[in-house]
Amino acid sequence: MLRLGRREFGPNEPVIMAIVNRTPDSFYDQGATFRDEPALARVEQAVAEGAAIIDIGGVKAGPGEEVTAAEEARRTVGFVAEVRRRFPDVIISVDTWRAEVGQAVCEAGADLLNDAWGGVDPGLAEVAARYKVGLVCTHAGGAEPRTRPHRIEYDDVMADILRVTVGLAERALALGVPRESIMIDPGHDFGKNTRHSLEATRRLDEMVATGWPVLVSLSNKDFVGETLDRPVKERVVGTLATTAVSAWLGAQVYRVHEVAETRQVVDMVSAIAGHRGPAVARRGLA
């Protein structure tokens, strides 16, 4: 059972996490949801299309202009409070690696802290425990926040992913984060080259076998672009193919830009796997 905010999800129930970037320089939408009204419209659309989680980020993942903790909080805290007011049942996640920002957004109503940088600030898990909110434990290969990998090597990339993510999850549990609210994430592209991310996808069932719910953040990433030699705006098909494979191997939560398309993919895979029935069943029955 996965429990986040007011919601509970069974072990075979796919969950969509919609990305809402409160940044002027995000790699995919180039700041389309930096201002409040477009961002709130994005939330409304994502919920209507089937997203259960809204993931709010105040700092782009890649290199760029420095964003202080105070500026990150300015971009996210008030917005979290407004989303909570307008959408009381939606699960609010905040993509941050900083404990002080995590505390501020939890005070504003966040249900989940999405730590994409592998516990670089150990205080973030302590915040999650204090507020009894969820936590995403991600493998980032030891990279510093907002840096790109350079000639990184692993003897066995999945072994390292398992060591780090399970270790972070067990630490979070020991601190007091509810077990049913902890997820692990292989961290595609983070501290990895394209071959590493492809292998992490191919062996995703090894993460699922740990018993921790698995979150994947695949949407339009560089490993998709390099695999198919496609620019950022032409990676949706590759992303959805990777999503289908991840769903078949047992991932549960999908952090995405394209909510409606992802919803159809994971629902179709779930039906093929026998976890859900068709939405309608008329063929051959009339």
Cite the active site residues.
Answer: 221, 255
Spatial separation of the C-alpha atoms in residues 193 and 186, rounded to whole Å:
13
Phi, psi (deg, nearest 5) at residue 91: -85, 125
End-to-end Cα spacing for the chain? 38
Strands 2-4 and 7-9: antiparallel
Q: Which residues contact 248 (CB under 8 A, 6 or more apart)?
A: 269, 272, 273
